[in-house]
Chains A and B, each alone.
Chain A
């Protein structure tokens, strides 16, 4: 019987499989950052053991870093301490660090792919739930907790049960003005924030196949927002073309051998999935969220469900959510005034995202009372944007192009949306307080966010492209 892609990669990485025990799974690449690693290094110290495979561990500083004046010491004492701890820990344990000031620094899920560290067939973990991003390359990639970070540092392995398999097909072609962020927001709105819990999701179908690598990363990135252990897309020529020539990618004869192997990485025709869902790309319109979990999303022209449309049992949570957002059940969001626009995060901060926004805003200027933050995903994205003159377009539009980091996606640094304000954001979570205490988040695509930046309100971007 045929195997799914996830099973093929899983089987290639099982070190020990014993009845009753979770599998000991070998990890090819372990990314670490300043927030979820210090306690793991402490654990190694207490046990008196080293990092088992330093060359398979890469570190960067992203969650806490300021996005202006990165050349200066970090002002906020606790953030500075945490970033300094990462420097100290990586030096002591011999792990390579792409810290502030390094030309490779950036959001961990942006730099892995752009440096050619992320490759098909790999197992990849990081103490960050959006590690699912790397699944876009045909890798098994998932987020872990700090105790698991310590396991991987100590043994290059992790204990895991084999996940259930789900396939989500998006058939047909996307309509104009609809981009990959809309695909994933649409799926989550259809199956809920817990609709894929326990599953590893393979995305397939014509609409997925036709996406660029960066667009595929956006889809896999938000797999966790429907509860999935991870998302994955079978590698193809688009994947190989993206990887070829990157810093750490295989070269020469190794490249040829690698590609020959990677071409075997797809679900067999007779492989069975525990669950298969199919959607039609033509049904997807530009999406926006209205509530406080990513499952509370709708087409931008739709109305928020009325109380009667929500099941009895779910009404208290639904009401709590809309109270937080100060929105009425049954109302529309089109025309709703926004105060902030955030274009960034591991979901949408890559060069194609910035190009998409720049193409749209070229020759336009932001609305007067809107603050627009553009935060590139990495130093390399920032440099590329400047090389292409995108920075000038943003400047002319009144947008602030800042320096790389996680920024207002989770507001660990100073980039917080003030209480009560509405932010249209290309990030991945609209949880209460996510972008700052009492901040209100609408998740959307870079295009929809750019349209809001220009008009100062929620717009149907299809009217403008």
Chain B
């Protein structure tokens, strides 16, 4: 177990402990969902981190007249929960952290996919949203379970790094780097750790002749 600095300097924002989650899930079996779909650029003009949830998947959820599109999963009351299950390469494209903020603000704590884009993965973890990468086969098992029962429960245990389909008992383990895992469980963020390295940073700077 890796421990970030003993006492976090300050705790702000959406920091919260995360260990165990049991929830139904919302299925979105589409590949290459980019962050422009998660939150379109025209909604990036806010200067705070709050309130992005109402525009999550804006153009898939609402038509040009701002009417809900009945065929989109978030408008279907059958599906709800704190877990989003999506096709491979989720979160590709723009680095906008607003994508993670909008998912979190809407109420998602976990996104499950068979593949995540790098920047999105970092952004999610920095906002205490857990990206769980599973095999393509297990992803299909989850979609099948939800298809059979919209209320199918998924159980996630971060400490044990497992995700389980409650009804079938199918379970797999997932990877997460130990540092980020400790941050999630303890509610620490990267700045707490980096600030604790200040004297190392200054020593490094003194050792360099040029700024490259």
B179 touches A410 (CB 8 A): no
Chain B residues with Cβ below 8 Å from A225 are 93
Name the interface size band of chain B.
Answer: 35 or more
B interface SS class: loop
| C-alpha gap A151/B209 in the complex (Å) | 24
A437 touches B64 (CB 8 A): yes
Closest B residue, CB atoms, query A154: B191
Taking the closest CB of chain A, its distance from the CB of B45, in whole angstroms, is: 4
* Residue interface bits A26-44, CB-to-B below 8 A is 1, else 0: 1011000001101100110
A36 touches B34 (CB 8 A): no
* Residue interface bits A8-40, CB-to-B below 8 A is 1, else 0: 000000011000111010101100000110110
* Residue interface bits B75-101, CB-to-A below 8 A is 1, else 0: 000000000000111001111111010
Q: How many residues of A contact B (CB 8 A)?
A: 81
> Does B200 touch A at the CB level, under 8 Å?
yes
Chain B residues with Cβ below 8 Å from A410 are 36, 41, 94
Chain A residues with Cβ below 8 Å from B10 are 46-47
B197 touches A122 (CB 8 A): no
B window 146-193: CB within 8 A of A: 177-179, 189-191, 193
> Does A279 touch B at the CB level, under 8 Å?
no
Closest A residue, CB atoms, query B3: A20
B127 touches A429 (CB 8 A): no
Chain B residues with Cβ below 8 Å from A429 are 34, 36, 93-94
A431 touches B64 (CB 8 A): no
B42 touches A412 (CB 8 A): yes
| Partner among A22, A52, A227, A412 whose Cβ is within 8 Å of the Cβ of B92 | A227
B117 touches A258 (CB 8 A): no
Chain B residues with Cβ below 8 Å from A402 are none
> Does A433 touch B at the CB level, under 8 Å?
yes
B115 touches A197 (CB 8 A): yes
Closest B residue, CB atoms, query A230: B118
A36 touches B97 (CB 8 A): yes
> Does A353 touch B at the CB level, under 8 Å?
no
* Residue interface bits A115-154, CB-to-B below 8 A is 1, else 0: 0000111100001110000000001000111111011001
> Does A82 touch B at the CB level, under 8 Å?
yes
Chain A residues with Cβ below 8 Å from B195 are 49, 154-155
B96 touches A36 (CB 8 A): yes
* Residue interface bits B87-131, CB-to-A below 8 A is 1, else 0: 111001111111010000000000000010111001100110000
Known: A20-B178, A24-B197, A194-B115. 11 other contacts (CB 8 A): A15-B201, A24-B200, A26-B204, A144-B119, A145-B122, A148-B190, A156-B205, A320-B30, A411-B42, A429-B34, A429-B93
9 closest Cβ contacts across the A-B interface? A145-B97, A38-B47, A78-B45, A145-B123, A147-B126, A143-B95, A121-B212, A129-B95, A194-B89
A interface residues (Cβ-Cβ under 8 A, vs B): 15-16, 20-22, 24, 26, 28-29, 35-36, 38-39, 42-43, 46-47, 49, 52, 56, 63-64, 78-79, 81-82, 85, 119-122, 127-129, 139, 143-148, 150-151, 154-159, 161, 193-194, 197-198, 224-225, 227, 229, 250, 254, 257-258, 261, 293, 295, 313-314, 316-317, 320, 410-412, 419, 429, 431-434, 437-438
